C-alpha cells in the first residue's frame, strides 16, 4: 500500500528544488489536508505572441462555416486541427491609428491605450490579463507566472514611428500600466528559476576557502535531479506503477533539457576566473542558433506547466519589429521586420511567409509536446488554454481588425476545439479574456475594453 502525498510536494536537495507533475497518488492525501491538495490536474493559461503579423489570405480560411480548411500558414498545425479554435473578428480598438508595432504589444493582453512618453514614465494603459490572473491565483504555485522570450529589451524612442518608447514592444506582460513583467531570455537562467534555489552571493562569505562553500560551488554544477535524487527515490517508493512511469518520463525530460542547456552554453574554450574568491558566477549566454534558442525556451516552459511550477505564462516568439535574421531558413535572406514590409513584391513576400509559417511551426511543436504528456487520462494540452497570435493582422499594412488568433486546448471542458468561431466584426479581444478568467475561477464583470464574455467557446 503506497502512502499518499500532497500536490505541492517538492523534491529538495542542496541548492535545488524540483516540483512534481500531477500524480495519481496526490489524490489520496489525508482528509485533514484536503485544502492543500488537488485530486485532478490544474488548469493552465498561456499566451504566445508572434510579431510582425501574417499574410491574411494565408491565415484565414475562405467561407464562414464552423468547419474550416487548412491554409498555408496553418499547415504546421494540421495534425492539431481538432485541438484548437480559430478565432475571428477580434481586435483592440485602442490600437487604431497608433504606431504599427510598439503600442500594440502591451495592448494585446490588456486592451489598454498606450501613451506616448519619454521612456521614463511608461503608461501601457492597463494590466495584462496574465498578470491580472497571477495577482489573484498565482500564490497557488511556486511562481505566480512565467514570462519568457528570445530578444533583449530595446531602449530609446522611435521618433519616426510615432514617438513611442521601444520598451513597449519589448514586454508582453505588464503588472500595472507603469511596470512591465521582465521576461527571461537566457535558457539556463529560465531553467534555474524553475528548479534551483537562489543562494547568497559568494562574496558574502567571510572565508571563501571554507569546505562547505566549495562543496556548494561544486553542487551548483550538478544536475538538479542529482541534487534531489534522495527525495525522488522516496516518492517513487510510495507511488503506484503508473505514477512510476510518469515520474520516469518527467525526470527524463528534465534531464534532457539540462543536457541541451549545458551543451549549447559550453564555450569552445573554457574561461575560468583566475585568483582568489570571491567572484560572481559568469552569466550564461544565448544559444548559437535562433532555432535552438527557441526550442530550449519552449521546452523549459513545458516543464514549468508540467511540474505545476506555474499555471500562468506568456511567451514572446519575438519583440515588436523583431529584427532576427532568418537567413537560416532555405530561401530566406534577411531580417523578419524588414521582410514583413514586402510591398506585395512576390520574392520578398515569399520570404516573409516562410518566416511566419516557421514561427507557427514552433507553436505547433509546443502544442504537440503538451498533447503528448499524460495527466491521468487527459493530456497537458487538454488541461490548458493557450492563445497564439499577433497584435496586427497584416505584417505589411499593420491592420488591426480581425487579428490572427487561435485558442488551443480544451480548458478542462471550458473550450470546444476543432472549429472556427466567428464573432461579430470588431468584437473586443478582451471579451475573450473575461471568459478565460472565468474559466480560471476569476469572476470579473469586465476587463480592459470588454463588453461581456465571448460567447460560443464551449
pLDDT in tens, 29-60: 444 344 445 678 899 999 999 999 999 999 99
pLDDT computed for residue 453 by the predictor: 98
CATH number of the domain within which 338 lies: 3.40.720
* 214 and 244 fall within a common domain: yes
Q: Tell me the pLDDT tens digit for each residue of 323-349.
A: 899 999 999 999 999 999 999 999 999
| 58 and 160 housed in the same domain | yes
Give the total number of structural domains in the chain: 2
Q: Are residues 375 and 238 in the same domain?
A: no
Co-location of 121 and 242 in the same domain: no
Separation in Å, CA 69 to CA 271, 354, 420: 54, 19, 10
Q: What is the pLDDT of residue 408?
A: 98
Domain holding 230, by residue range, is: 1-39+202-269
342 vs 225: which has the higher pLDDT: 342
pLDDT at 251 over 70: yes
What is the mean predicted confidence (pLDDT) over 81-106? 92
Q: Which of 211, 238, 269 is the endpoint of a domain?
A: 269
In a domain, 150, yes or no: yes
| Predicted pLDDT of residue 190 | 87
Rounded to an integer, the average pLDDT of 260-282 is: 41
Is 360 in contact with 71 (CB distance < 8 Å)? no
Q: Round the average pLDDT of the chain to a whole number and report it.
A: 82
Specify burial of residue 12 (Cβ count, 10 A radius: 0-12, 13-18, 19+).
Answer: middle
Burial 48-76 (b: 16+ CB within 10 A, else e): bbbbbbbbbebbbbeeeeeebeebebbeb
CA distance 407 to 129: 15
Identify whether residues 407 and 336 lie together within a single domain.
yes
pLDDT digits (tens, 9 = 90+) for 441-456: 999 999 999 999 999 9
Amino acid at each position: 500500500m503506497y502512502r499518499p502525498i500532497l500536490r505541492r510536494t517538492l523534491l529538495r536537495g542542496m541548492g535545488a528544488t524540483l516540483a512534481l507533475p500531477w500524480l495519481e497518488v496526490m489524490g489520496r492525501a489525508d482528509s485533514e489536508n484536503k485544502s492543500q491538495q488537488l485530486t485532478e490536474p490544474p488548469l493552465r493559461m498561456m499566451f504566445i505572441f508572434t510579431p510582425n503579423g501574417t499574410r491574411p489570405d494565408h491565415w484565414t480560411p475562405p467561407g464562414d462555416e464552423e468547419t474550416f480548411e487548412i491554409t498555408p500558414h496553418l499547415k504546421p498545425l494540421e495534425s492539431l486541427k481538432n485541438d484548437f479554435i480559430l478565432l475571428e473578428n477580434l481586435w483592440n480598438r485602442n490600437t487604431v491609428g497608433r504606431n504599427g508595432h510598439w503600442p500594440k504589444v502591451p495592448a494585446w493582453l490588456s486592451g489598454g491605450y498606450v501613451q506616448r512618453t519619454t521612456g521614463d514614465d511608461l503608461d501601457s494603459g492597463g494590466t495584462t490579463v496574465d498578470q491580472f490572473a497571477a495577482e489573484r491565483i498565482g500564490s497557488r504555485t511556486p511562481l505566480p507566472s512565467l514570462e519568457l522570450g528570445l530578444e533583449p529589451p530595446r531602449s530609446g524612442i522611435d521618433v519616426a514611428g510615432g514617438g513611442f518608447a521601444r520598451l513597449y514592444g519589448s514586454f508582453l506582460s505588464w503588472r500595472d500600466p507603469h511596470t512591465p513583467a521582465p521576461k527571461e531570455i537566457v535558457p539556463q537562467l529560465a531553467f534555474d528559476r524553475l528548479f534551483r534555489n537562489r543562494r547568497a552571493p559568494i562574496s558574502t562569505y567571510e572565508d571563501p576557502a571554507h569546505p562547505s562553500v566549495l562543496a556548494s560551488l561544486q553542487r551548483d554544477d550538478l544536475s538538479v535531479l542529482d541534487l534531489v535524487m534522495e527525495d525522488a527515490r522516496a516518492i517513487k517508493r510510495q507511488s503506484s506503477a503508473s505514477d512510476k512511469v510518469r515520474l520516469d518520463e518527467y525526470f527524463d525530460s528534465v534531464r534532457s533539457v539540462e543536457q541541451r542547456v549545458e551543451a549549447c552554453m559550453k564555450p569552445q574554450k573554457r574561461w575560468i576566473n583566475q585568483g582568489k574568491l570571491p567572484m560572481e558566477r559568469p552569466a550564461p549566454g544565448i544559444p548559437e542558433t535562433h532555432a535552438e534558442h527557441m526550442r530550449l525556451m519552449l521546452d523549459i516552459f513545458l516543464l514549468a506547466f508540467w511540474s505545476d511550477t506555474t499555471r500562468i505564462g506568456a511567451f514572446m516568439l519575438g519583440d515588436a519589429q523583431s529584427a532576427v535574421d532568418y537567413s537560416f531558413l532555405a530561401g530566406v535572406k534577411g531580417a523578419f521586420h524588414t521582410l514583413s514590409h514586402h510591398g506585395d513584391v512576390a520574392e520578398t513576400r515569399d520570404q516573409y511567409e516562410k518566416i511566419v509559417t516557421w514561427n507557427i511551426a514552433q507553436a505547433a511543436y509546443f502544442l504537440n509536446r503538451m498533447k503528448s504528456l499524460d495527466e491521468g487520462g487527459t493530456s497537458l494540452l487538454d488541461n490548458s488554454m493557450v492563445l497564439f497570435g499577433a497584435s496586427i493582422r497584416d505584417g505589411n499594412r499593420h491592420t488591426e481588425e480581425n487579428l490572427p488568433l487561435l485558442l488551443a486546448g480544451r480548458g478542462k471542458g471550458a473550450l470546444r476545439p476543432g472549429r472556427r468561431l466567428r464573432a461579430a466584426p470588431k468584437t473586443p479581444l478582451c471579451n475573450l479574456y473575461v471568459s478565460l478568467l472565468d474559466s480560471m475561477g476569476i469572476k470579473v464583470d469586465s476587463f480592459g475594453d470588454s463588453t461581456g464574455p465571448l460567447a460560443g467557446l464551449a
